[in-house]
Structure 1
């Protein structure tokens, strides 16, 4: 019997790549989109049912979970992928923007996880995979609210994994690096930014690569997290710029890594940091650690 996965936020980018990956591997897929116009986005794929879901609507989570189970008779994996990117200095990010960032990236994710946990607990199996970000590892400037929401997702995943381990349920977090997706075309930007910030903003974003890794890279990591059977592992890293971070912290130590990262943002990155943390799409040096 084929297993079934539920994936949220699948109209484009990473979510769409995850749907394609699991469908290609023979899984049943329940894919969610927020707009009716996107209901046909997966029509070319067999064994995929596309349903409407606004993850911001916490009250809809319970009924959606039951509807998802009804599609193929069982759900084995939930991937909380839906999210968006809020950008701008904290000083001028409105409280409405900040609340909306956490509503989608954190509270909606929690509501949907809560809806599926009784189902997984009853069947004594199931995996929840939450899409976090490399920004969960260190706060990026002008993306501090987004980074905070993704750090919350990573910490939540670790805490939940301990709560439900006794029931045969795994909770994992995937931390993608920068990817070539439309998330950066759907930015909620802070308005009326004081001129004092402009030099820092220009300097920071001038250092960022305009492209990133293909979303299929993260789709492959999500698949590995779903099938590897390791219920003790929570954090999975995808794309070279994200996957290099644990190794860099091991080499430099937590404080040393932060010092290098801070210098890379505020001044000029050292040759060591550049070697350890590659630009998106580049490969890091294969450092050997005994």
Structure 2
């Protein structure tokens, strides 16, 4: 039985991936800061809930050792992360640091802890969830976009490093999904920018807006396919929405799409 270790498994894409991989007969180590939030997942066959805050290094080290002592992990899905929404001028240094630590240092730390085990076996695969925000960041999500772009760059560099010892790495690039985006985001306010933030949030909140959201369950199937396709492909657009976004960027160019987004969010 193959085993996958998933971070951020309590909701959204992480939760959907737990279900897909378990349904495919995998053993799933589903980690989250609050295992009570995943109680339903723990009832699935071969799903093991574990507490993990990727910012808690001693906890991470102990958990990776515990899991590897008991099972052989084949795939690590670095999915944990959160979103800050608002103007940079309103962010505190602590908020910026937490965003960078969770979204960037989290995957790096998890990867580093598994490396000795994967290297010894000369096998293993890391899947790093980023975002189309790495390619085309949304307004007022500058730090989030920066962390996802950094994971893309880091993963690209790591491919050469890891291939020397028989380990694979891939990035998974979703677009908007039906994951309570606005409700789960940490909203940062600043009076000088509030008019424009409100306009953008109104579009995200409006059920009649033209924004398209992918079903996390469908996107999780893309994740599974990337895990088992046996290819050396590095970057994957996962979900129909992400594929459309990638095609639009390729056809129109980043500058033109950015100009369109500016009008879409902020024009009267």
State TM-score, norm by structure 1. 0.84
Q: Cα offset for 1:205?
A: 3.6
Which residue of the partner structure matches residue 278 of structure 1?
none
Matched, 1:245 2:245: yes
Which residue of the partner structure matches residue 18 of structure 1?
17
Which residue of the partner structure matches residue 263 of structure 2?
267
Checking the alignment, whether the CA contact within 8 Å between 1:174 and 1:236 is kept in structure 2 is: yes
Checking the alignment, whether the CA contact within 8 Å between 1:31 and 1:49 is kept in structure 2 is: yes
Which residue of the partner structure matches residue 218 of structure 2?
217
Structure 1 residues 207, 260: closer, same or farther in 2, change over 3 A?
farther
Checking the alignment, whether the CA contact within 8 Å between 2:5 and 2:73 is kept in structure 1 is: yes
Which residue of the partner structure matches residue 284 of structure 1?
none
Which residue of the partner structure matches residue 176 of structure 2?
178
Checking the alignment, whether the CA contact within 8 Å between 2:222 and 2:239 is kept in structure 1 is: no
Q: Cα offset for 1:207?
A: 4.3
1:81-230 aligned within 5 A: 81-191=79-189, 193-195=190-192, 197-208=193-204, 210=207, 212-230=213-231
Structure 1 residues 187, 249: closer, same or farther in 2, change over 3 A?
closer
Structure 1 residues 104, 268: closer, same or farther in 2, change over 3 A?
closer
Supply the distance in 2 between the matched residues of 1:157 and 1:110 (Cα, whole angstroms). Answer: 9
SS at match of 1:139: coil
Checking the alignment, whether the CA contact within 8 Å between 1:84 and 1:183 is kept in structure 2 is: no
SS at match of 2:144: helix
Which residue of the partner structure matches residue 288 of structure 1?
none
Q: Residue by residue, what CA displacement relative to the aligned partner does 1:175-207 show, whole Å, maximum 9, x if unpaired?
A: 11101113432222213x123x23322343444
Checking the alignment, whether the CA contact within 8 Å between 1:174 and 1:235 is kept in structure 2 is: yes
SS at match of 1:74: coil
Q: Cα offset for 1:263?
A: 1.6
Could you tell which deviates more after superposition, 39-48 or 89-98? 39-48
SS at match of 1:75: coil
Q: Cα offset for 1:149?
A: 0.9
Q: Residue by residue, what CA displacement relative to the aligned partner does 1:204-246 show, whole Å, maximum 9, x if unpaired?
A: 3444465721111221111011101112x11111223321233
Supply the distance in 1 between the matched residues of 2:67 and 2:182 (Cα, whole angstroms). Answer: 29
Q: Which runs of 5+ in 2 are unaligned?
A: none
Supply the distance in 2 between the matched residues of 1:158 and 1:224 (Cα, whole angstroms). Answer: 20
Which residue of the partner structure matches residue 286 of structure 1?
none
Q: Residue by residue, what CA displacement relative to the aligned partner does 1:241-266 show, whole Å, maximum 9, x if unpaired?
A: 321233233323xxxx2222222122
Q: Residue by residue, what CA displacement relative to the aligned partner does 1:32-70 show, whole Å, maximum 9, x if unpaired?
A: 121142352313211111111111112332222111223
Structure 1 residues 258, 162: closer, same or farther in 2, change over 3 A?
same
Structure 1 residues 189, 139: closer, same or farther in 2, change over 3 A?
same
State TM-score, norm by structure 2. 0.90
Supply the distance in 1 between the matched residues of 2:65 and 2:149 (Cα, whole angstroms). Answer: 29
Structure 1 residues 154, 97: closer, same or farther in 2, change over 3 A?
same
Could you tell which deviates more after superposition, 177-186 or 10-19? 177-186
Q: Which runs of 5+ in 1 are unaligned?
A: 270-290
